[in-house]
Amino acid sequence: MKQNGRHRRLLFICVSLILIISDGLFIGINYWSAQTALSTSLTHRSAEQMQTVDIAVGMTLRNMLQLATHFAHNQQLNRLFLEGKKAVAKYGMRSAEVMAVRAQMLQVIKPGWDDMIAQFDVRQLHYHLGPGSLSFLRVHKPDKFGDRMDDVRYTIVDTNREQRARMGFETGRVYSGLRGVVPINAMDSERHQRVYVGALEVGTSYVSLLKLVDRVTGVGGAVLLSKEHVVRNMWPASIKRRFGRVIAACDCYIEAASRPVAAVLHVLAHSAPINKHAPESQLIRQGKRYFSVYSKPLRDYRGLQNPQLPAVGWTLIWDDVTEEVHKFYQGVILNIFYAILGFIVVEMTLIIALKVDRKMRRMEKLVALDGLTNIPNRRDFEQRIQEEMRRARRDNASLSVVMCDIDYFKQYNDYYGHMQGDDCLRSVAQALKKSLNRASDYVARYGGEEFVLILPNTELAQARKIAEKVRLAVRNLAIAHHKSQVAPVVTMSFGVACVQLSNNGQCDINVVREADKHLYQAKESGRDCVVSGN
């Protein structure tokens, strides 16, 4: 019995020692794990926050390219640009003939440009002649033109050389920007063919997107450009006006920031030298506050084309992590808690990044929607019709377009008032939308009281039936219209056109113009009817 008792006591002591050792190891491991988890969590969170900035940059670049494409579809501006190009070749850049063309282009662009600046924070709209990059018209600064930027504006040089759209970050003679560049073609009336004219650039700065990310995530951000890059690309006067003095901590200039310059200087002053070649995370202390600082080399358009070139600067973000650091020093138990918290924080950061992406997509979608009727607008239609033309040509398929117009809508507005006129437009838009059964069918507001339908893989006879169905759907809304000369209710007139496309040849029929012509014939025929070609 005594032997058994001694064995039990020995076993108890051994188990107790093992538990003590295990607890010690557990505490030590958890302490080390908590420390590692904290460092890892901050790095991962910063990387995700940087990804949010990258998402915003990508969306902004696509928006700039879309806006440039929108202007590039303006045939009047394209023809004037071609006239200007010919005048430059014949009379010189500063001739009266060229000045006259430039003035005409400004007159056409200015109203839409002012709205675009207000709505989309666009900073520059710039027409360039090739080869290379010869400034023809800076809409944002019309008095400055004629300078060459062949060794600076590679997006322009490449677009003029390859006649293909480009986008990216780039530093010019005056300032840097996120730019979208598209080629411009125009119909030459002398040669009776489309010719290449030059490149059109739309650009903006980093400031707005950094402030957006800061507002959504609470993370400060800045874009720094190396002194070497700035001096190599910008005019000295522009450097002095734009930046003032160089930042000694990084031998760089602050290109953009979401917060005051003093905040950026404080971060740089307390940070280790920025890694020039790879992303880097570090924890810094400012008084009683701790900040997680993440820097990433910034590559411009040319650097993305040629990875051998050095980075032009850095994207810098910083996040206040004082609370996490203080909790870390409370002990091993809190270290375990923080390991869980670190995971939650990372997940929350991902959720925030997804929310930002969704918000960007929502913004992009809103740009394509008509604000009154909540259906696609004319800008979206012009992109969609090009896509459907390409698809129809590839699939050797037919494509129908229906143009429709509310009959005597001006009289409706004058009699019932604009608010009721807006209600009428919304009701008609929804009737059109609900009348289309196929997912591929498309309706957009073309302008005013005019709407347009795209019907892929639809022959003319079938398109007429769909138009007739839509006509009856609008009529069945029974919206009173006492000023109509057609019926006591709101009615619509329809023009239908169909084109057959194939890869074997080019089709000269402009299906939109044909549909519009038939719409005019429908109006001439008494309205509230459908008119099509043979």
pLDDT on residue 376: 93
Confidence of residue 346 (pLDDT cuts 50, 70, 90): very low
Any idea what DSSP says for residue 441? -
Question: Scanning the structure block, which residue is given the tokens 């045939």?
Answer: 75
Q: What is the model's pLDDT at position 506?
A: 46
Q: Which amino acid appears at position 502 of this protein?
A: S
3-state SS class at 454: strand
Sign of CA dihedral 33, 34, 40, 44: positive
Question: Could you tell me the pLDDT band of residue 175, with boundaries at 50, 70 and 90?
Answer: confident
Q: What is the pLDDT of residue 326?
A: 79
pLDDT at 342: 44
Contacts of 349 (CB under 8 A, 6+ apart): 44, 45, 48, 49, 217
| Fold entry, domain 74-204 | Beta-Lactamase (3.30.450)
- The number of CA neighbours under 13 Å toward the Cβ of 115 is 5
The pLDDT of residue 350 is above 80: no
Mean pLDDT, rounded, for 354-359: 57
Mean per-residue pLDDT for 110-139?
Answer: 85
Indicate if the pLDDT at residue 75 is higher than 80.
yes
Considering only 4-8, 102-106, 444-448, which range has the smallest mean pLDDT? 4-8
The pLDDT, as a whole number, for residue 41 is 84
Which structure tokens are listed for 501?
């496309």
Give a three-class secondary structure readout of 273-303.
Answer: CCCCCCCEEEEEEECCEEEEEEEEEECCHHH
pLDDT tens across 434-462, in order? 999 888 999 999 999 999 999 999 999 99
Higher-confidence residue of 352 and 43: namely: 43
Choosing among 3.30.70.270, 3.40.50.300, 3.40.50.980, 3.20.20.100, the CATH entry for 378-532 is 3.30.70.270
- Residue 47's H or E segment, with its range, is helix 2-72
Q: Where are the domains of the chain?
A: 74-204, 207-368, 378-532
397 phi/psi in degrees, rounded to 5: -120, 165
pLDDT averaged over the chain?
Answer: 86
The more confidently predicted of residues 198 and 37 is 198
pTM above 0.75, yes or no: no
- Residue 256 tokens read as 């953009």
Q: How far apart are CA 449 and CA 464, in angstroms?
A: 20
Mean of the pLDDT values across residues 278-283? 89
